[in-house]
Amino acid sequence: MNGDDALPSPEYLEHKLEELEFAIRREEATYKRGLGEVDSSKYLGARSLPDGQSKDDIISRIDAARRVFSSLWKYLWTRRDISISTKIGVYRASVRSVILYGCECWALRVEDEQKLEVFDHYCLRNVLQVKFTDFVSNETVRTRCDNIARILQAIQEKRLKWFENVLCRQPHELSVTALDLKPLPNWKRRSRSQFKT
């Protein structure tokens, strides 16, 4: 295009028209296919299952925390010139915050709790450079780590903080309404009709 004519060339318009037609065909194909069912979905970093369990989310959080922990391996955890309190502070800020993201809404099972505890103990032992064959109890490891709380206790504290935040919200908000056990004003109990025999 030069300064005299303000319209684009016919070749350019034809190319843009082909791109638009291709995009429309792709959208139509997606629309015709429809939405299918999935085994799990990820929303805001949290993975959810159709049955309401949290095991996939917990596994993905542990994997993400493991990546963070291993990325700091040679720079922090194995160095002897850095104090234990500094290492624990970094552990709380980096690894624990990654693993506890979204834990307020987890439906924990016993095996999920065990996975979380095992990973937490693994990390703390590596921070202290205590081998599993040294016969040092987990409580001793926690005491040496500035009495860091158990991960299940940290989850409970985060849940209570979230509950406190919900209670401070306006009464018309959905999260507060969900906690209220009173039925809605227009709700009626279904009649219990007897079967005739």
Residues linked to residue 48 through DSSP beta bridges, in sequence order? 41
Residue 44: strand, helix, or coil = coil
CA torsion 15-17-20-25 (nearest 10°) is: -100
Residue scoring higher pLDDT (31 or 93): 93
Which single residue is written with the structure tokens 């082909």? 18
pLDDT band at 42 (very low <50, low <70, confident <90, very high): low
Predicted TM-score (pTM) of this structure: 0.66
With residue 60 as reference, give the H or E element that holds it.
helix 55-71
pLDDT band at 33 (very low <50, low <70, confident <90, very high): low
Q: Taking all residues of the chain, what is their mean pLDDT, rounded to a whole number? A: 82
Over pLDDT 70: what percentage of the chain?
Answer: 77
Using an 8 Å Cβ cutoff, are 38 and 51 in contact?
no
DSSP string, 90-154: HIIIIIIHHHTTTGGG----HHHHHHHHHHHHHHHHHHHT--GGG---HHHHHHHTTTPPPHHHH
CA torsion 111-50-58-101 (nearest 10°) is: -140
Does the pLDDT of residue 120 top 90, yes or no?
A: yes
